[in-house]
Every structure is written in C-alpha cells, then in structure tokens.
Amino acid sequence: MAKVVVQSIGVSLDGFAAGPDQSLENPLGVRGPELMEWFFPTKTFIKQHGGGDGGETGTDDRFAAASMAGKGAWILGRNMFGPVRGAWPDDSWKGWWGDEPPYHVPTFVLTHHPREALEMEGGTTFHFVTDGIHSALEQARAAAGDKNIRIGGGPSTIRQFLQAGLIDEMHVAVGPVLLGAGEPLFHGLDMRQLGYEVAGMTPGERAVHMIIKRTL
C-alpha cells in the first residue's frame, strides 16, 4: 500500500529543520545549508544537479537515493516553493530549481493564493492547492496511484501533517550542528501521543539517520 513519507529532512542537534530569515539569498534560512551538509557530497545530489557520476556512495547516499526514488507525487509548503509572500504578483517565479525541478512527478504546493498549474521540464507539474492539507493529500493520492507520496517540507507543513496523523514514516537526518535559531521540526507535538515511535537508527558518514513510524 502506498505510504505518505517524509525523507531526508536535515535536523540540528537542537531540533531545528530550517534556519531563520528565509529569503532569495538564503532559501534554507540563515545557516540552513549546514543542516544538509550530509546530503551535498552524495552521488545522488551531485547527479541531481548535473554533476555527472561523481560524489560519495556510502550510507548517506543510500538514504539520499531512497528519498528520491519511487515517488508518485510530492507535497510542498509554499516556503519550499519560493520566497514570494502574499498574493502572487505574477507568474514569473517558477521555483528554486530552474527549468527542470528534481521531482519529475505531480507536485502539490500549499498556498492561500490561487495560481494556475505550472508545467515544467522533466515531468514536474506544480499544482497550487488553496483548501488545505487534506485536499492536497487527496489530490496527491489520485496522482500517485500505488506509489508513495513525499511531504517535502518545510517544517511547518510537516508538523501539520504529523498533527493530523497523516504521515506513515519519517527519515530524519540528524547532523552534528547547533543551529541556535530557526524553525523547529517537532515544536508543539507530542509524538508518542500521536502514535509515533523510533523504528531504527543508522549512523552515516555525516549524519545519523533516524526512522520514525506511526504505529497506531
């Protein structure tokens, strides 16, 4: 059965999954890239960004590759799509990734402001959903068929899906960094009360990979 998953979310030792003050210059927030330093050297990341066959192929890469494979749809919060706030001024912003985003499947963006669907190269089409997480998930399930749906973030979007009990499994990559400020991943959530437990832990080259599953 298809699952709703979160994968390859970088988290600091003090619990932050994004840095503060996200902007065009700082898509992951100030110091946010430090959360993903485990991911950047991997073969998966380098191939994804046009770097050919280089990159590392250890444990970190195995988790990175799994996070991109077998997805039938993605769901993103608006901050994950871009830094534009409020009503869309025009259709010029098409995401952080250039003409060919890394998703290659239907991708549903949560927003309060309508916008026409945006078809990109490589099979990604962004659909803008204005009526909440349940509607986005219903549309994503219809698009994904028997493949998994990945909730891509950011942290506030993940928290909404966790609070509603809609995420089946999470992969959190805990890195050796104290961010000090930013957006916490689990703030305000009683994960045990929501039915989640740690199902596995695997040390990688630059992060510890934690698997969290919903058991209720």
**Region 29-39 average pLDDT:** 96
pTM of the full predicted structure?
0.96
On the question of pLDDT at 51 being above 80, the answer is no
Arithmetic mean of pLDDT, 58-78: 97
**Phi and psi at residue 127, to the nearest 5°:** -115, 130
Question: Do 55 and 43 form a contact (C-beta atoms < 8 A)?
Answer: yes
Domains in the chain (CATH in brackets) are 4-17+28-83+103-214 (3.40.430.10)
Under the banding of pLDDT at 50, 70 and 90, the label for residue 53 is confident
How many residues in total does the chain contain? 216
Residues 6+ apart with CB under 8 A from 165: 194, 195, 214, 216
Least confident range of 47-51, 62-66, 142-146, 210-214: 47-51
The encoded tokens of residue 158 equal 């993940």
Residue type, 69: A
Q: Is the pLDDT of residue 216 over 90?
A: no
Helix (H) or strand (E) holding 78: helix 78-81
Q: Could you tell me which residues come within 8 angstroms of residue 168 by beta carbon, excluding any fewer than 6 positions away?
A: 3, 4, 5, 213, 214
**Which residues neighbour 164 within 8 Å (Cβ) at sequence distance 6 or greater?**
133, 134
Tell me the per-residue pLDDT of 89-123, one tens digit each, with 9 for 90 and over: 999 999 999 999 999 999 999 999 999 999 999 99
What pLDDT score was predicted for residue 142? 97
E runs forming strands in the chain = 4-11, 16-18, 71-76, 106-110, 118-119, 125-129, 148-153, 169-174, 183-184, 196-203, 208-214
Structure-token pair, residue 214: 């919903």
Q: Residue 24 above 80 pLDDT?
A: yes
Digit-coded pLDDT (tens) for 126-182: 999 999 999 999 999 999 999 999 999 999 999 999 999 999 999 999 999 999 999
